[in-house]
Structure 1
Amino acid sequence: MSQSIAAHPDRLLPTDPGTRRIARALLERVQDLPILSPHGHVDAAVLEQDTPFPDPAALLVSPDHYVTRLIHASGVPLGRLRASSDAAPGSRSVWREFCAAWPLFEGTASGYWLRHQFETVFGLHHELSAETADATYDAINAKLQEPGFRPRQLFKDFNIEVLATTDDPLDDLASHRAIAQDPTFHGRVLPTFRPDQYLDIAHPRWQANVERLIGAAGDGGTGYAAYLTALENRRRYFLEHGAVSADHGVRTPATLKLDAAEAARLFDRARSGQATAQDRDDFEAHMMYQMARMSVEDGLVMTIHPGSYRNHHEPTFNAYGADTGHDIPFAVNYTEAIRPVLQDFGTAKDFHLVLFTLDETVFSRELAPLAGFYPSVYLGAPWWFLDAPDAMLRFRAAVTETAGFSRSSGFIDDTRAFCSIPARHDTSRRIEAAFLARLVAEHRVSEERAHEIIVDVVDSSPRRVFKL
């Protein structure tokens, strides 16, 4: 039987033999370094409680919008891919749909990650197909029943040192506290302050969220001033529980500095249900300015993830809710949008602002020049649709000539799929080795220096940027 492509030692490395030799040595330098994951969406309770993983479909298919969206595009209704809802088909049926659709994933990042998981995590060496669906389901399901195949053991086996979650500002962080106090848990699980539903006045639960926020943390005050106080207090609570960053999944990267009176008027109009679309944009942009101000004061790293048209297909949203595969990127403008923040805080001591994008046209045009001047600005790693091998190579090629290597965040896996974390970080390390090997082969960087750079990119950069 031929070697699995997921096990090939030279996967993603350059095809030229000389350049590949350089890349192999670079990869070996970082291959066994611990995983640092400063932004992701794994539930801390899964690690605290060491919850067994569900069946193969509920673990690997139904919750993964990378997977379900492409199968849906081939004509399969999403209802046939839902293994976890009351009205869902059986998990084995969902797995059969997935296996029948497996050829669709050739050449995709999802296909690459899944192959890596099947090979290295589940020990599955058979190619998926409609004919092997039941056999592969049974093989993975048997693995999931093993006592050693639990989240805590995998956390150790994956060599994860730091894993950040994404958390509601009013979360009590009990799971994080329990993990931090558990002497048997090796590694760090850090909360991340994610206030989107408290800043976006168009969110359907914004008014209720604000009432709860002010009531819980507003120090007995009312109105806009108490709202700011409550956000500051909850940020402080997160810091006390190990948080290093505040993340913002905004529609655009717009920022706006308003005086307190105008901001209070917008806030009051929103609470009374009288806000216009322009009010929504202005208030969210102003609150992004306020989040930057707070980060300067309390030290939380500020990360911005803009440019996704959420829930693009309304019938799908109505039927299945958010995060079901129909969030679509759109173009963004960073240079003007982020300027109000950078005017006041771009050179502020210890302020770290990590800028992500789904619009790769801004890599070289806007983000690299911004990171190449402002001490506060760092380049967020390729994210979501762009955390794929060729897109990651395009990112490096686009930004390095202007911003070098030192201004990037290090890899961000941004995943809910716990078992995919090693595959994603391995992919990134191979891409960094491939890119650096080309520079060495072209005599643009010495091989000795390339070995220093790849360690910095993989390990030192995330520690430095996210204050780990």
Structure 2
Amino acid sequence: MTSVTVPQSSQAVVDAAGHRDPDRLLPADPRTRSIARALYERVAGAPIISPHGHVPAEWIADDTPFEDATSLLVSHDHYVTRLLHASGADLGALGVGGAPTDPRAAWRTFADHWHLFAGTASGYWIAEELSGVLGIEVDLGPDSGDAVFDLIAEKLRRPEFRPRALFERFGIEVLATTDDPLDHLDTHRRIAESGFGGRVIPTFRPDRYLDPDAEGFTAGIDRLLGATGEAATFSGYLAALENRREHFIRAGAVSADHGIEDPETFDVDPDEADRLFHAVMSGAADAAQRRVFRGHMLLQMARMSVDDGLVMTVHAGVVRNHSSSTFRSFGPDSGHDIPRQTDFVRGLRPLLERFGLERDFHLVLFAVDETVYSRELAPLAGFYPSVYIGAPWWFLDAPDAMARFRSAVTETAGFSRGSGFIDDTRAFLSIPARHDTARRADAGFLARLVAEGRVTEGAAGNIIEDIVGPQPRRVFKL
């Protein structure tokens, strides 16, 4: 182990000897912790099922070595860059949005501000990655930034730290990417034909082709119709989307993902839908018409999922690109998407009236508004056979938020109506850290139920084993 003299870290992920606490995140009460430890050990080494995420398929197909610590751990991690930005760091200097940057200088900025991440989920995950994945037992800080940067660079030159080797080391059984409907998916074909043992599957993400307010919407529809040879009518538009969904299914896709602000649906008749289609394509549609069209297309996506079997996942309640200035400078996905209140019950009622009782339809609902967990999502999933509660997502995928999630949904919907954990990340090295966090959080929650006499220890063991493997396989039809 490399020795560097640095100030004592404020994040007690590793002890003074450089060893991670084996009971990290488990309950503090000794009896409950003992139960949690036994439950966690049942699933600690279980394979990782990752049915929704954003790791580029090219990383696996090309097995290209990661470049440096900054591009690996900082530039593409919005949890990291947004907090640095809030503290005065320049996003461009961090490499956000593909901006040219000096990787070492950007890493120094991160190291100088490492204390800001104490207690945050991103701070915990990165500490896990440094220690558990990269084997670097050096406290990060202003005095050690360069040393840690060099240690990471040395690791990344080794073959065992290339993407495919890490995929196997992490025990990933299934990894889903997120892909544009017009993607040719040749990268996935190359992975499948390469003899690689891991399963990497695409996910159909049609948002930009469904929302008239999306940038380049009409040009995108023109490309969609041109690629499929369909007519510029509403029925042709639907047929084009169905064509591309079939293309994804042939490539191994099991789900279609929808990132929306409002979980709102409308059921309109075909003639009205055709009129709306021509209005939005011509630019004549007003805000109310665009809203109805957008909501009707979400309902149409449910109809297609009933027909072709793709699981429908809905990530709702985020105001995208909240800072117009940042968007103009760095583009989308640059750290300023902000959660807002949502209404699933009224918004999704037209969709559920049509398809909610379809037993082969799987609708997984993710929220960033914690108030909907007990009020809306658990009751919906506790009645509709098609509805599943998405795991804590984004700002809510931290240990304390996971515990709140379990408390909010379990008393109404139990454990069986969940999706299993979803890491939803592009930060490849954080995948095992995030799944381990979820396993520890669930072990702690279940241990409390055992200690309070609410479930038996044997039942708790069966539940945690189901959550980690069989449950996501069932929900995502794997």
TM over 0.5: yes
Q: Check if 1:429 corresponds to 2:439.
A: yes
- 5+ residue gaps, structure 1, are none
> Within 5 A, what are the aligned runs for 1:349-360?
349-360=359-370
Distance 1:71 1:402, change over 3 A: same
Distance 1:364 1:5, change over 3 A: farther
Supply the distance in 2 between the matched residues of 1:365 and 1:83 (Cα, whole angstroms). Answer: 37
1:48 matched to 2:58: no
Give the match's secondary structure for 2:343.
coil
What are the residue-to-residue correspondences of 1:3-402 with 2, within 5 Å? 3=16, 7-82=20-95, 85=98, 88-183=100-195, 185-217=196-228, 219-402=229-412
Q: Structure 2: which 5+ residue stretches go unaligned?
A: 1-13
Cα deviation code 1:401-458 (max 9, x no counterpart): 0000000000000000111100000000000100000000000000011000001111
Does the 8 A contact of 1:334 with 1:366 survive in 2? yes
Report SS of the residue matched to 2:429: helix
CA separation in 2, counterparts of 1:276 and 1:60? 43
- Aligned CA distance change for structure 1 residues 465 and 3 (closer, same or farther; 3 Å): farther
Over residues 293-333 of structure 1, what are the superposed CA-to-partner deviations in whole Å (9 max), with x where a residue is unaligned?
00000000000001111010111111111111111000000
Is structure 2 residue 472 aligned with structure 1 residue 462?
A: yes
- Aligned-partner SS, 2:256: strand
Indicate whether 1:410 and 2:420 are aligned. Answer: yes
2:230/2:240 contact within 8 Å kept: no
Task: Could you list the structure 1 runs, at least 4 aligned residues long, displaced by more than 3 angstroms after superposition.
Answer: 1-6, 83-86
Q: Separation in 2 of the partners of 1:278 and 1:83?
A: 35
Query: CA separation in 1, counterparts of 2:386 and 2:17?
Result: 44
Q: Quick one: distance in 1 between partners of 2:15 and 2:345?
A: 51
Amino acid at match of 2:209: Y
Q: CA deviation at 1:262?
A: 0.8
Paired residues of 2:60 and 2:163 also in contact (CA < 8 A)? yes
Letter of the 1:92 counterpart = R
- The Cα shift of 1:349 comes to 2.5
Supply the AA of the counterpart residue of 1:56.
A
Q: Contact (CA 8 Å) 1:58, 1:83: kept in 2 or not?
A: no
8 Å contact kept, 1:56–1:95: yes
User: 2: distance between equivalents of 1:6 and 1:312?
Assistant: 41
SS in 2 for 1:7: coil
RMSD of aligned residue pairs (Cα, Å): 1.3
CA deviations 1:103-147 (Å, max 9, x no partner) are 000000000000000001111111111110110000001111112
- Contact 1:57 1:83 (C-alpha < 8 Å) held by counterparts: no
Contact 2:96 2:330 in 1 (8 A): no
Q: What is the CA-CA distance between 1:231 and the residue it aligns to? A: 0.3
TM-score, structure 2 as length reference: 0.95
User: Following TM superposition, by how much is the alpha carbon of 1:96 offset from its aligned partner in structure 2, in angstroms?
Assistant: 0.3
Q: Is the CA contact 1:356–1:383 (under 8 Å) kept in the aligned structure 2?
A: yes
**Per-residue deviation, residues 18-65 of structure 1 (Å, max 9, x unmatched):** 001100100010111100000000111110111111111111111111
Residue identity matched to 2:211: D
Letter in 2 for 1:378: Y
Deviation at 1:5, TM superposition (A): 8.0
Distance 1:83 1:261, change over 3 A: closer
Alpha-carbon distance in structure 2 between the residues aligned to 1:307 and 1:79: 27
C-alpha displacement at 1:79, in angstroms?
2.4
Which TM-score applies when normalising by structure 1?
0.98
How far the C-alpha of 1:461 sits from its partner, in A, is 0.8
Q: Give the drift of 1:6.
A: 7.2
Conserved 8 A contact 1:371-1:378:
yes
Alignment partners' CA distance in 2, 1:276 and 1:414: 34
AA aligned to 1:295 is: S
Within 2, Cα distance between the matches of 1:215 and 1:190? 25
Instruction: Give me the whole-angstrom Cα distance separating, in 2, the residues matched to 1:151 and 1:396.
Output: 33
